[in-house]
Amino acid sequence: MTEVIEPAIETVTIDVVLSALADPVRLTLVRALDTAGDWTCGSDILKNTGVTIGKSTLSHHIKVLRDAGLIRTRVDGIRRLMTLRYGDVDQRFPGLLNMLREREPARAAEKASASTA
- C-alpha angle 18-30-51 in degrees, rounded to nearest 5: 110
User: Which domains are assigned to the chain?
Assistant: 2-116 (1.10.10.10)
Question: Is the confidence at residue 36, as pLDDT, over 90?
Answer: no
Least confident of 29-38, 54-63, 103-112: 103-112
Please tell me the predicted confidence (pLDDT) of residue 80: 82
SS3 93: coil
- Quick: pLDDT tens for 47-89: 878 888 888 998 899 999 999 999 998 888 888 888 999 999 9
pTM of the complete model beyond 0.85: no
* Mean pLDDT computed over 82-100: 92
Please tell me the predicted confidence (pLDDT) of residue 108: 46
Please tell me the predicted confidence (pLDDT) of residue 8: 93
Region for 20 from its dihedrals, namely left if φ exceeds 0, alpha if ψ lies in -120 to 50, beta otherwise: alpha
SS3 69: coil
Residue 3 contacts by C-beta under 8 Å, 6 or more apart in sequence?
72, 73, 74, 75
